[in-house]
């Protein structure tokens, strides 16, 4: 999984680097394509992160049911912060366009 995320990150960096030039014709790596790839990678990472957070919270509640309220609150805050990262990428995608 680390190899996939590293490859996706490097691909995004390469796409952004190639999108910096101002060619006469519109290239594939200019504007919308880069924004869509970045948003797709961020959404995939967000889904993986949120899935791991929910699994860990469920395991924590299963092991210690008395701490369910604190675990749930912490999980919801964590999920909001993870989702905020995708919103930041969405804002950056709009800036690229």
Measured CA to CA, the distance from residue 93 to residue 12 in angstroms comes to 12
* Confidence category of residue 31, pLDDT binned at 50, 70, 90: low
Give whole-number Cα distances, 80 to 27, 38, 41, 44, 91, in Å.
36, 20, 18, 16, 16
The structure tokens listed for 90 are: 């969405």
pLDDT at 9: 73
pLDDT at 24: 54
| Mean pLDDT for all residues in the chain | 81
The CATH number of the domain covering residues in 30-97: 1.20.20.10
9 close to 17: Cβ distance less than 8 angstroms: no
Delimit the domains of the chain by residue range.
30-97
pLDDT digits (tens, 9 = 90+) for 80-93: 999 998 888 888 88
pLDDT digits (tens, 9 = 90+) for 37-70: 888 888 898 999 999 999 999 999 999 999 999 9
Measured CA to CA, the distance from residue 58 to residue 37 in angstroms comes to 32
């Amino acid at each position: 999984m680390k190899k996939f995320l590293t490859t996706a990150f490097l691909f995004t960096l390469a796409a952004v680097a190639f999108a910096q030039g101002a060619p006469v014709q519109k290239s594939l790596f200019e504007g919308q394509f880069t924004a869509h790839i970045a948003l797709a990678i961020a959404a995939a990472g967000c889904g993986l992160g949120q899935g791991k957070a929910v699994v860990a919270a469920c395991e924590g509640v299963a092991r210690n049911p008395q701490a369910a309220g604190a675990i749930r609150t912490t999980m919801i805050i964590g999920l909001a912060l993870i989702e905020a990262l995708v919103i930041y990428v969405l804002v950056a995608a709009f800036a690229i366009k």
